[in-house]
Structure 1
Amino acid sequence: MKKELEQGLSLIAIEDNDKIVAAAINYELNSSIERAVDEDYQKTGIARKMAKRSMLLAKKRGHKLITADVTSKYMAKIMEKLGFTAIKINSKFEIRIADFSDNENILKFMKRTYLKTEPCLVSCGLSLKEPSPFMIDIMKKQLEQGLSLIVIGENDETIASLINYEFNSSTELEYYSNLSKLADDKIVKDLIDFEAYIATLSDVCQNYNVDKFFTISIIAVDEAYQQIGIARKMIERSIILAKQRGYKIIRADISSKYTAKILEKFGFTAVVSFPLKNYLNDQGELLFKNIIPPHDTFQIFIYRIDN
């Protein structure tokens, strides 16, 4: 909330005696609205006035779209009267830690989603090829650590997954080097070399004085279930999991601008931002030749866990 307030788009309602009776937190993510009214001042029109004022503010700032996350039927009626259109979503899904029996389903899911749509893979052309067995094997090893999440829809199908894993100081330096030597495809090798280079820019263990850290690595949501908060919920659950397991630092390797915005809302800080157009492989060739805006930058985000 603090970060949302810092955008300077929010409203406050104050009574004559300087008591705060209501507030509407607005923030830029296609202009979203969240609001709260003191119980003693509910049903007096304050919520409607703040919603209208928020709409005027968004219009002044040049926003073309406003979203409002509403759970109250009373607020839903207000928003509909102001011209908002309700988007009905199917919220019947379960997020849980993936166990060994889930791994094959997650890998199949990643083959048809992440490996076909992830911005770096699209930019370097790997998304057009058959999924690399080598990359699948890397995912499989990360899943075996038992830190990943799976989201199951109401028909028991996998609709999203987030692969988390532990990096530690004793293996970090050798990890990418060994992967690069074993890569089964030139572009795969170049991509691993790129990730190794980016990792040296953050040097998490050295810079944050830890011998291990929690890594948010791969996020994928089925297209039919996007934009209903599943990615946000998976990241939130991952933060909780990292805290429970005693990690001090979470690193997230991200090329999606949309995911980057979610991380920033949770308090992650970008410590590396590398434009994809600037990277050349060891032959001096561009690796990312088909960059799709706005996903033109690879970023490493850090989240510090305070006990």
Structure 2
Amino acid sequence: MVTFPLELEQLVTLDNRQQQRLIAHIARPDEAEEIFEFLLHHFFPLAPIRQLGLYDESEEAKRPEWIEDIVRDCVKTPHSLLVRDEQRHQHIVAVAINEFQRYNSTDVNPSEPYASKSSNPAQIPVGRLHKAVLEYINRDVNVFDIYKTDLKMELSILAVDGLYARKGLATKLVELSLGIARAEGAGAVWTEALSEYTAKVTSKFGFDILRTVNYYEFKFNGDFPLANIPGHSVGHLMALKV
């Protein structure tokens, strides 16, 4: 079992040519707000569906409180991870938000209807569209049954500061997260990989693709609001037996 804090072996050199010392930690409850602020800058602008928030001037689109609530709930338990750069005043540079779920009736076939809204992407509340896509990729898929387990771990959010991209940090966080899942006795790890970045990283570990949504075909209230999102054409529900 890996113990934290853990100094990472990744060689990360920024533009100033100074090698950075990166330390992985278990996220604490008192770090929730800092983690959320990090995600506002380094996750939401790249997440495919959240990009539509650029067209939504509402405060909810800019600072989705429901996401902040998820972060706060997840870091109450010692399963999520963050990486800090000791040479940059302990700045957070990468995050993996993990959440364990036991088999019960609320985990199976969630089907809460979303209210219809304008088909104009500039007026679609991003949260409703996001929820509709998640309902689609989860429909008729039961990770508990597929992997014969009563405990699963969700890799909810995976994010890396762009300055540290392509340095292996996301891969390392997934590896460490899988270790946490095994230590806690989970039978499967799953993720709603709506970003192709997440799908690419998890595929390195052999995650199965359980269901796919083609964004250019996804219809929402008579329109195709995800058809032209740059950098992303599909989203996947993915899982791995551990």
Which residue does 1:12 correspond to in 2?
none
Amino acid at match of 1:114: F
C-alpha RMSD of matched pairs (Å)? 2.6
More helix by share: 1
1:118 matched to 2:47? The reply is yes
Measured against aligned partners, the alpha-carbon deviations of 1:14-50 in whole angstroms (never above 9, x if no partner) come to xxxxxxxxxxxxxxxxxxxxxxxxxxxxxxxxxxxxx
On the 8 A contact 1:201/1:272 being kept in 2, the answer is no
Aligned length in residues: 213
Name stretches of at least 5 consecutive residues in structure 1 with no aligned partner. Answer: 1-69, 72-87
Separation in 2, partners of 1:265, 1:286: 31
Which residue does 1:303 correspond to in 2?
240
Separation in 1, partners of 2:208, 2:134: 19
Q: Match for 1:177 among 97, 107, 112? A: 112
Change (3 A) 1:141 1:175: farther
The answer to which structure, 1 or 2, has the higher relative contact order (CA under 8 A, 6+ apart) is 2
Question: Displacement, 1:210?
Answer: 2.3
On the 8 A contact 1:269/1:302 being kept in 2, the answer is yes
Q: Match for 2:229 among 280, 291, 294? A: 291
Amino acid at match of 2:223: E
Identity of aligned residues (%): 22
Amino acid at match of 1:292: P
1:248 matched to 2:187? The reply is yes
SS in 2 for 1:266: coil
Question: Displacement, 1:130?
Answer: 1.2
Change (3 A) 1:117 1:176: farther
How high is the TM-score relative to the length of structure 2? 0.78
Task: Output aligned runs, 1:115-154, within 5 Å.
Answer: 115-122=44-51, 125-128=52-55, 129-154=61-86
Task: Output aligned runs, 1:47-58, within 5 Å.
Answer: none
Separation in 2, partners of 1:140, 1:297: 29
Task: Output aligned runs, 1:6-85, within 5 Å.
Answer: none
On the 8 A contact 1:117/1:127 being kept in 2, the answer is no
Question: Displacement, 1:206?
Answer: 2.6
Change (3 A) 1:284 1:247: same
Q: Pick which of 128-137 and 295-304 moved more.
A: 128-137
Change (3 A) 1:199 1:167: farther
How high is the TM-score relative to the length of structure 1? 0.62
Name stretches of at least 5 consecutive residues in structure 2 with no aligned partner. Answer: 1-9, 12-16, 56-60, 116-123
Separation in 2, partners of 1:176, 1:227: 37
Question: Displacement, 1:160?
Answer: 1.0
Separation in 1, partners of 2:95, 2:230: 23
Q: Which has the larger radius of gyration?
A: 1
Q: Match for 2:91 among 140, 157, 179? A: 157
SS in 2 for 1:116: coil
SS in 2 for 1:247: coil
Separation in 2, partners of 1:127, 1:138: 22
Question: Displacement, 1:207?
Answer: 2.3
